[in-house]
Copies of this chain bind each other. A is one copy, B any other.
């Protein structure tokens, strides 16, 4: 089984309640990689027998640290319409004091999509091909980074932490280190691959962590099939850093230049 699928394994306990285990293979600094946690929540919704259509939008709020061991994903359908469905979800975990608490909340919109007039209004960045970019890890300190092959184009972590201001723009090619066809779960995780923009903008490594991420899914089944096990181009940039929180906008494209997702984050940072 692919490590990503293993990390996202869920056991159905009752309708809308799933048990999972936080993954050592996707461990970050104080918990699992947030992208894998987001993908786990989406997977729970997509696994639900009542799920209508495919994902359109996902918002995940990282309220507290997801710890080691077992957790529960609990889902509710807020409303089902003819072609759209709104879900609310939360991850509950039994904490050290024996109390069950929520550490992550999410809302998910799924829809039955039909072919309509479609058009992009964001340019595909002109970048070198994956083969022309050197494979290099984004960071070497954390386990989850080893699960991805990343080829930096621009905006790698500063080589000197000298506080010199630069653009927060980052572009890279990436894919699962162990090949796996791209699906909505991959795209969710890849939307959270970018290291904190403040480290780049400020050239200073301050404590930082995503508190909320929203992913909009544009890729349909045909685009997903065309993407396959290929590389995904990721681009991320901050807009505003203000009093402890900054935001990030990001886009993912496949090698053919088709947009896969657009996403947004608000990230906590400490002086």
* Smallest CB gap from A212: residue in B: B57
Given the interface pairs A214-B264, A220-B243, A259-B240, the reply to whether A103 lies near B116 with Cβ below 8 Å is no
Contact A57 B211 (CB under 8 A): yes
- Does A79 lie at the interface of the complex (its beta carbon under 8 Å from any beta carbon of B)? yes
Given that A115-B243, A245-B113 are contacting pairs, would A101 and B120 also be in contact in the complex, using a CB cutoff of 8 Å? no
User: Is A243 a contact of B59 with CB atoms below 8 Å?
Assistant: no
The answer on a CB contact under 8 Å between A118 and B56 is: no
| A210 CB to nearest chain B CB (Å) | 11
Band of interface residues on A: 35 or more
Chain B residues near A259: list those with CB within 8 A.
Answer: 239-240, 242
Contact pick for A241, options B78, B121, B240, CB 8 Å: B121
| Identical chains bound together, number | 2
User: Is A116 in contact with B212, judged by CB distance below 8 angstroms?
Assistant: no
Bound CA span A59–B271, Å: 26
Proximity bits, A230-258, B CB within 8 Å = 1, else 0:
00000001111111110101010000000
Contact between chains at A90 and B63 (CB < 8 Å): no
Q: Please determine whether A84 and B243 come into contact, CB atoms closer than 8 angstroms.
A: no
Query: How far is it, in angstroms, between the C-alpha of A269 and the C-alpha of B84 when the chains are bound?
Result: 12
Residues 40-69 of chain A, each 1 if its beta carbon lies under 8 Å from chain B, else 0:
000000000000000011010101100000
Chain B nearest Cβ from A207, distance in angstroms: 11
Which partner residue on chain B sits nearest A245 by CB separation? B56
Question: Do A168 and B57 form a contact, CB below 8 Å, given A79-B63, A101-B79?
Answer: no
Sample (13) of A-B pairs whose CB atoms are under 8 Å apart: A59-B59, A61-B86, A63-B84, A88-B88, A114-B243, A117-B271, A118-B243, A119-B201, A121-B239, A214-B214, A216-B264, A218-B242, A239-B251
Instruction: Give chain A's interface residues, CB within 8 Å of chain B.
Output: 56-57, 59, 61, 63-64, 78-79, 81, 84, 86, 88, 90, 101-103, 105, 107, 109, 111, 113-122, 165, 167-168, 197, 201-202, 211-212, 214, 216, 218, 220, 237-245, 247, 249, 251, 259, 262, 264, 266, 268-271
